[in-house]
């Protein structure tokens, strides 16, 4: 604990496990972040983020120097703990502070029939300190209005040195297994992201390498993909 206090004093901005910055989190209690679901934030927000159907980024503020990350979604106005849709299977993130999951990386399953005005909740899960899970949720309303390029950029920032990698046998981000190994570092180029950025793909299971290349620091690539819609 003394070590934590010392680090907290030196690095006050990165002492909070992780924050879900965009879409805006329901709330945040650092001491309760390990409680499923939603880090014990069980009251639906009265201030939902308008989330474009065509795609939007997820902006995180990472307090750890590396983390396994997984993204889920639950449909409905107050879905409780029913996070039965996997938007992004577990992957490895490295580097503290700003980390943006580009819109193109999110894998909306086919057949959801998402429409304007539909409500949902996104839950981002990371591994804990070091195991168990950490949970942050954001309540959203899907909208047919796209983000402008400027708005997208303002919600998709990556700090220097942040990178992602695929995991073999990734399991769940809140799992206790430690045998997952990084297999591929994503290239910083977003040049292969156009296909992944269409946002309506049907891929399930392990994230494809193309997907990883797509959201690795890929604001530029994702924007190219959005423009192609
Ligand atoms: Cu932590």
Delimit the domains of the chain by residue range. 14-227
φ, ψ for residue 138 (rounded to 5)? -135, 135
- Rounded distance from Cα 150 to ligand 1 centre (Å): 31
Residue by residue, pLDDT tens for the chain (229 residues) are 444 544 444 444 446 899 999 999 999 999 999 999 999 999 999 999 999 999 999 999 999 999 999 999 999 999 999 999 999 999 999 999 999 999 999 999 989 999 999 999 999 999 988 889 999 999 999 999 999 999 999 999 999 999 999 998 888 999 854 444 443 333 333 333 322 333 333 333 333 443 444 454 443 333 333 333 2
- Rounded distance from Cα 141 to ligand 1 centre (Å): 29
- Residue 15 has a pLDDT of 60
- Rounded distance from Cα 11 to ligand 1 centre (Å): 13
- Rounded distance from Cα 222 to ligand 1 centre (Å): 29
- Rounded distance from Cα 63 to ligand 1 centre (Å): 6
The whole-angstrom separation of Cα 181 and Cα 127 is 15
- Residue 215 has a pLDDT of 52
- Rounded distance from Cα 160 to ligand 1 centre (Å): 20
- Rounded distance from Cα 140 to ligand 1 centre (Å): 25
- Rounded distance from Cα 40 to ligand 1 centre (Å): 16
The CA distances from residue 174 to 29, 69, 190, 191, 211, in Å, are: 18, 9, 28, 31, 22
- Rounded distance from Cα 129 to ligand 1 centre (Å): 5
The CA distances from residue 64 to 53, 70, 175, 193, in Å, are: 31, 15, 17, 27
DSSP state of 198: G
Residue 76: count of CB within 10 angstroms of its CB: 12
- Rounded distance from Cα 190 to ligand 1 centre (Å): 29
Adjacent-strand bridge partners of 75: 120
The whole-angstrom separation of Cα 66 and Cα 81 is 26
- Residue 124 has a pLDDT of 98
- Residue 53 has a pLDDT of 94
Ion ligand 1 nearby residues (CB, 5 A): 17, 129
DSSP letter string over 19-70?
A: EEEETTBS---GGGTTSTTGGG--SPPSSPEEEETT---EEEEE-SSEEEEE
- Residue 131 has a pLDDT of 82
Edge-to-edge strand order for the sheet containing 119-127?
49-52, 133-143, 119-127, 66-75, 85-94, 163-168, 181-185
């Amino acid at each position: 604990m003394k070590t934590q206090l010392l680090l907290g004093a030196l690095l006050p901005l990165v002492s909070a496990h992780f924050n879900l910055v965009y879409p805006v989190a329901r709330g945040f209690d650092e001491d309760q972040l390990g409680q499923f679901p939603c880090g014990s934030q069980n009251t639906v927000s009265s201030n939902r983020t308008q989330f474009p159907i065509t795609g939007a980024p997820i902006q995180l503020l990472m307090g750890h120097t590396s983390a396994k990350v997984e993204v889920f979604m639950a449909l409905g106005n107050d879905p409780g703990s029913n996070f039965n849709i996997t938007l992004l299977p577990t992957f490895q993130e490295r580097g503290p502070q700003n980390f943006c999951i580009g819109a193109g990386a999110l894998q909306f399953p086919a057949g959801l029939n998402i429409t304007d005005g539909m409500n949902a909740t996104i839950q981002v899960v990371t591994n804990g300190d070091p195991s168990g899970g950490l949970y942050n949720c954001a309540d959203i309303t899907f909208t047919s209005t796209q983000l402008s390029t400027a708005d997208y950029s303002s919600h998709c920032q990556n700090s220097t040195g942040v990178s992602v990698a695929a995991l073999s046998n990734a399991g769940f981000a809140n799992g206790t297994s430690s045998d997952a190994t990084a297999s591929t570092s994503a290239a910083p180029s977003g040049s292969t992201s156009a296909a992944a950025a269409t946002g309506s793909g049907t891929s399930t299971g392990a994230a494809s390498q193309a997907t990883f290349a797509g959201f690795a620091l890929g604001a530029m690539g994702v924007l190219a993909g959005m423009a192609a819609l």
